[in-house]
Structure 1
C-alpha cells in the first residue's frame, strides 16, 4: 500500500472515530459507507482495519496513552488529538503487523498539523515519543 493511501486511510479513520464519539449509536460502518464510493477500496479497507483495531483495543490503547501522559487524562484531551493518538498507538503496539514507531509518530504529527490546533502536532509528537520509550 502506498504511503498516500495509508495517510488517506488514517485521515478517514480519524474522521470516523471522531464522529462515533459524538454519535455512538451510529455504527462506524455507516460512516464508512458514506466515503466508500469516493475512495479507493485499499483506503477504506485499511481505515476499517484501523477503526476496528482502535475500538477493540480501546482500553489497552488508552492505558498506554494515559501512562505516558502525566498532566492530561485521556478523556480530557481534545477529541481530534485523542483519536490521532489512538490510531498511532494502535498501529505501533497492537496491529497484527505493527509499523515502526518513527513512521507512526511522523504520520500522526502530519495529521495533527492538518486537523488539530496549533499545539496539536507538538502534543501528539511528545506523547507518542513517551509511549514509544515506555514500552
Structure 2
C-alpha cells in the first residue's frame, strides 16, 4: 500500500513542485523499503499527475525536470547527504528521524551541496515550508536548525546564487 500526499498549494512554482514530488517519492521508497527504480518513478509520476491534476504544460514539465535533476543527484550522493544530516542532527539516530523530515532534508542538502545556482537560504526556507505543510511546525524548526548547521559549513555565499563553485 502506497501513501498518498497532496501537493500543498496549487500555485507553486516549478522548483517547489519538483522538491515536493521528490520528497514524496523518496518517502514512498523509504516506507516501502525499496531502492530507486526508474519504473517506480514513472509509476509515481503518473499517479501524481492524476492525483494532483497536473496538466501537460510548461509548469508541470519544468517541475518534473527539476524533480528528476534532484532525484538523480540525491541517488548519486545519498551517503554524503545522509552523513551531513546526521552530523548536524545532534542526538538523533537516523531511524528516529521522521521519514518525511529526512527526505525534506535530503532535497535541501543536495541543493546546498551540489546546486550553486540555488542560494542555501532558499533551500532552507523551502525545506521549512514543505516540512510545515507535510510534517508540522516543530519539524520545520528542527529542519531549520539542522540545515542552518550544514549551511554554516559551506564555502559559498548563503544568500546568493553562484554560477560556478
Larger radius of gyration: 2
Tell me whether the two structures share a fold, i.e. TM-score over 0.5: yes
| 2:162 aligned residue | none
State whether residues 32 and 48 of structure 1, in contact with CA within 8 Å, keep that contact through their aligned partners in structure 2.
no
Once residues 47 and 23 of structure 2 are traced to their aligned partners in structure 1, the CA distance between those partners, rounded to angstroms, is 14
| 1:134 aligned residue | 153
| 2:86 aligned residue | 66
Two-structure CA RMSD over aligned residues (Å): 1.9
| 2:69 aligned residue | 49
Which of residues 8, 16, 20 is equivalent to 2:17? 8
Describe how 1:1-135 pairs up with structure 2 within 5 A. 4-23=13-32, 24=34, 27-36=40-49, 38-39=54-55, 40-95=60-115, 97-135=116-154
Seen in structure 2, the aligned counterparts of structure 1 residues 44 and 127 have a Cα distance that, compared at 3 Å, is: same
| 1:4 CA drift (Å) | 1.2
TM-score, with length taken from structure 1: 0.87
| 1:36 CA drift (Å) | 4.7
Runs of 4+ in 1 over 3 A off after TM superposition: none
Higher helix residue share: 1
